[in-house]
Amino acid sequence: MNQRHIHRLLRELTPEIRAYLFPGWEEPETGVFADEVSVLGKPPVLGEPLVKYEQDVRPAFRVRKPALARRFAGECSASADSDPEALDPRTEEILAEIRRLQEKYGVSIEELELLLGYTVRLSRLRIMRSGRLFLTDYDGVEVKMPNIAKALYFLYLRHPEGLRYKDVADHREELLQLYGGISGRDDPEEIGRSIDLLADPFGNALNVNASRIKAAFRNVVSDRIARFYYLEGAAGEVKKVPLDRDLVIWEY
């Protein structure tokens, strides 16, 4: 580990990039980014204790090829030329800058974590009555996704045991309740059609909206952290959200 290179890299990190890579971390008062690095390895200072998740943390960047983020075409399905996992342009810029700095200094994210004394600490997820989602302990950043994707996400949050896609249709009434409460739509038939399209095991809407959920979290934090929040599971198997439900605060 070349500490001089690491120190130079740290000084180039913007607050936006630091928040993306190391959410919840606060620079000690003595200053990791001061001219003299005297507090390296000091644990992060947080406003309140968070649950630690140190095991099975993936390498930071397995980034897909850059793609322009597009507005979602329709709530339940994507057009043939759109990518539901595409990140927004600002996030793509952040990832590109991180890759540039890593190549410039030959420093891994793991080395930076060791230097900062940073451990992946998961934030509480607050779900408002309006259906808006916030990562409370990551400066209250909002996680944005289409309402139909939120309905699917809330369903999976309510079922920590997980669900196979083919079983989602068995929870139609629950989805109707979830989606009806946040969609702003008044027509029950229209709401029902949206849910039927979403839950169709022979369609692609489940895959599309699961990808939208994944992209929504990867737009605000790096994948090594985001993966605890989005749906995971092999094709045809049970999918679940790994997040400890003690960290989910329902106001909805």
pTM of the model: 0.80
Instruction: Report the pLDDT value the prediction gives residue 196, as an integer from 0 to 100.
Output: 96
How many alpha carbons lie under 13 Å from residue 132 in its C-beta half-sphere?
Answer: 7
- Give the pLDDT score at 111: 85
Dihedral of the alpha carbons of 104, 106, 109, 112, in degrees to the nearest 10: -90
CATH architecture designation of domain 125-250: Orthogonal Bundle (1.10)
In this structure, what is the dihedral angle of CA atoms 84, 86, 89, 95, given to the nearest 10 degrees? 150
Question: Exposed/middle/buried for 218, CB within 10 Å: 0-12, 13-18, 19+?
Answer: buried
pLDDT averaged over consecutive 10-residue blocks of the chain (252 residues)?
Answer: 75 92 79 44 38 36 32 42 86 95 88 85 96 97 97 98 96 96 88 96 94 98 96 95 97 84
Cβ burial of 119 (10 Å; 0-12, 13-18, 19+) is middle
Q: Which residues pair with 143 in a beta bridge?
A: 133
Q: Report in angstroms the alpha-carbon separations of 137 from 8, 80, 124.
A: 28, 37, 6
Contact at 8 Å (CB) between 247 and 121? no
Domain parsing of the chain, residue ranges: 3-81+90-116, 125-250
